[in-house]
Amino acid sequence: MNRYEIRKEDRSTSSMRIASQLFKKDILNGIWSNRWKYLFVTVFFSVITTINLYNFNSHPSLNGEKVQFNLFDIIFSVFRGNDPTDPFSKIIWLMVQLLAVFIVGSYSDKALVDGGIYSLIRAGSRSAWWYSKTIYVLFSVTLYYLIGFSTVIMITDLASPLASDWSSYAEAFELPRMNQSISSWLFVAYCFVLLTTSSIAISMIHLTLMQIMKPIYSYIGIVTILFVSLFYESSYLPGEHSMIMKHTLFMDSGLMMIGTMIYNSFLTGICLIIGARLFHRKDIFVKSDID
């Protein structure tokens, strides 16, 4: 190996080490800067769960007998998406989706302004910087839903014993609406995967839009997309894919789970590529000076 190849390998190793440090820095800084947001998320899901527990406890009896509910009924109520039989479900779904984008926020812009430009120069690659921010999005959204589901489970467990299967309430009101039988925990897994991958795709749209406009305008664009997803049915809308009630489990002509996974992966990939191109063309020095 000649001297040129050794220097080239050393530069490559150094770049990978700096990129790795950048990834770790974004994750740690992201958690710290969002610490109050995550606290708000915990309070939000605690309140929503408590409201649902009260509503289920006040639910009228079936044939004169009290219908028992459990954890899976609460999870169904909180994470089902737009349920035509319950107008309040639209509000919950919209708030859950907006909170995911709120967690991602404008961290990438703030990181670039608050001294992040020096980390970018040290990294020696705009690509490393961009990919680090996308990893931050993936991590933040996943952590958001882990906190959300964990909060629902813990609050419900305080009110009633942790269940392992569907309740008599579900057998009477929820399971008959499904087109196929499904285990309770598999249903929870479906909800988690649909919500997480859809919110990652939506947050990547937000991150990409921030490369060409101010964060506030990107937020407005995301809110518009989510509102349209509530009132207009189309498989092209990212919000539609986050609702389990829009899938074949509940609708004969609904979305397929594998189709949603492909759609969310494709949308995330497209945003990753387009965002990288936009960031490579972005005048980061002017951005830093202006902000």
- pTM score: 0.87
pLDDT at 290 over 70: no
Question: Is residue 21 exposed (0-12), middle (13-18) or buried (19+ Cβ within 10 Å)?
Answer: middle
DSSP of 186-218: HHHHHHHHHHHHHHHHHHHHHHHHTTTS-HHHH
Cα–Cα distance, 198 to 242 (Å, whole number): 5
Output the pLDDT for position 149. Answer: 97
Collapsing DSSP to helix, strand or coil, 267 comes out as: helix
Ranges 75-79, 196-200, 277-281: which has the least confidence: 277-281
How does the average pLDDT of the chain come out, rounded? 84
267-287 residue pLDDT tens: 999 999 999 898 887 766 555
The pLDDT tens digits for 215-245 are 889 999 999 999 999 888 888 999 999 999 9
What distance in Å separates the CA atoms of residue 49 and residue 280, rounded to the nearest whole number? 44
User: pLDDT: is 189 or 110 the higher one?
Assistant: 189
The pLDDT value recorded for residue 285 is: 56
What average pLDDT score do residues 186-207 get? 95
- Whether the predicted pLDDT of 45 surpasses 50: yes
pLDDT greater at residue 100 or residue 10: 100
What local confidence, expressed as pLDDT, does residue 132 receive? 82
For 101-135, the pLDDT digits (tens) are: 998 876 666 655 555 566 666 656 777 778 888 88
Look at residue 29 in the predicted model and tell me its pLDDT.
Answer: 80
Q: What is the structure's pLDDT at 161? A: 76
Terminal-to-terminal C-alpha distance of the chain: 47
Total number of residues shown for the chain: 291
Q: Are 105 and 35 in contact (CB under 8 A)?
A: no
Q: What is the pLDDT of residue 283?
A: 63
